[in-house]
Amino acid sequence: MTLPLPLLARGKVRELYEVDEEHVLLVASDRLSAYDVVLPTPIPDKGAVLTGLSLWWFGQLRDLVPDHLVTADVSEYPDELAPYADALRGRSMLCRRLVMQPVECVARGYLTGSGLAEYRAGGAVCGVALPDGLEDGSKLPSPIFTPATKAEAGEHDENVSFEAVAAVVGPSVAEELRRITLAVYERGAALAAARGILLADTKLELGFDAAGVLTLGDEVLTPDSSRFWPAASYEPGGPQASYDKQYVRDWLSASGWDRTAPGPELPPDVVEQTRGRYVEAYERLTGSSFEDYLRES
């Protein structure tokens, strides 16, 4: 989709357009990335799931941290976007511009993924020492802040220590990034647990608004930025069933793909199963019908 606005950035999943000096338009596509490669096969409705979940979570978190949302109602968008309303409906947000911080703010409540690999190598994650004997999927004694660098497209994020973040953004900002990230994780984990879902980890984007207030940007607590596991089948010691794109990662690993671009086409059954997991995540977390969200957007 080409819009009559300057394109500021094209990420693995989203496009960011300039509306004016104070506002941007964030559009979520159906693209899916795995191992830092954008796959050639889209997942239908994925962008709408990400947008709808972010909108719901923003509402659950506003007492903890402000967010960048102005409106997701396409009828309130600038007039020049009116011809594109159908394409933007349900998968876009008009947002305040932020000065984004150069760090991925990650919180982990369970040990898996890159955190597990780092723990196995040295008994710590991002400089946070952890007890001996943990395994894949182990619940941590308490949630930890494990920041990462922001990688360019095609590159890998790199886990870094809190001290490394403080050296870049300053100690006081680093402390706020950690505080907000852990508060969002704990709120998200509690709400998800009430719906039978474990929030293993999550990644946030934070930036300063025009008043100098740290603000949530991008998306929040979606299957793209978080690992969601069904509590009923949780058992530490190996991979977990999930509501995120782990299903695709597992298929890719079994396919023999070497994780270099371009990625392989996904078969129809994998696309269908992945879409189903995204939609189920939306419906279980929000308690609302995804079809109703599409209809009402």
For the domain that residue 137 is a member of, what is the CATH number? 3.30.470.20
Q: Quick check: is 228 in a domain?
A: yes
Q: Quick check: is 29 in a domain?
A: no
Q: Quick check: is 60 in a domain?
A: no
The pLDDT value recorded for residue 47 is 97
Q: At a CB cut-off of 8 Å and minimum separation 6, what does 291 contact?
A: none
Q: Quick check: is 205 in a domain?
A: yes
Neighbours of 31 (CB within 10 A): 18
Neighbours of 6 (CB within 10 A): 10
Average pLDDT, the chain: 95
How far is it, in rounded angstroms, from Cα 183 to Cα 89? 31
- pLDDT above 70: residue 261: yes
DSSP 46-111: HHHHHHHHHHHHHHHHTTT--B-EEE--GGGS-GGGGGGHHHHTTTEEEEE--EE-SSBEEEEEE-
- Inter-residue contact 181 to 189 (CB < 8 Å): no
Q: What is the pTM of this model?
A: 0.93
Q: Quick check: is 173 in a domain?
A: yes
pLDDT-based confidence at residue 1 (cuts at 50, 70, 90):
confident
pLDDT in tens, 38-54: 999 999 999 999 999 99
pLDDT in tens, 32-90: 998 889 999 999 999 999 999 999 999 999 999 999 999 999 999 999 999 999 999 99
Neighbours of 16 (CB within 10 A): 19
pLDDT in tens, 117-149: 999 999 999 999 999 999 999 999 999 999 998
- pLDDT above 60: residue 154: no
| Number of structural domains the chain divides into | 1
How far is it, in rounded angstroms, from Cα 244 to Cα 294? 20
Owner of token pair 């922001």: 150
Q: Quick check: is 227 in a domain?
A: yes
Length of the chain: 297
The pLDDT value recorded for residue 151 is 62
How far is it, in rounded angstroms, from Cα 95 to Cα 167? 29
How far is it, in rounded angstroms, from Cα 55 to Cα 294? 13
- Dihedral through CA 123, CA 229, CA 243, CA 102, nearest 10? -40
Q: Quick check: is 288 in a domain?
A: no
Query: Which pair of tokens denotes residue 177?
Result: 């990034």
Q: Quick check: is 120 in a domain?
A: yes
Torsional class of 256: left (φ above 0), alpha (ψ -120 to 50), beta (otherwise): left
State the residue range of the domain holding 105.
Answer: 100-246
Q: What percent of the chain has pLDDT over 90?
A: 91
Query: Which pair of tokens denotes residue 88?
Result: 């933007």
The pLDDT value recorded for residue 156 is 64
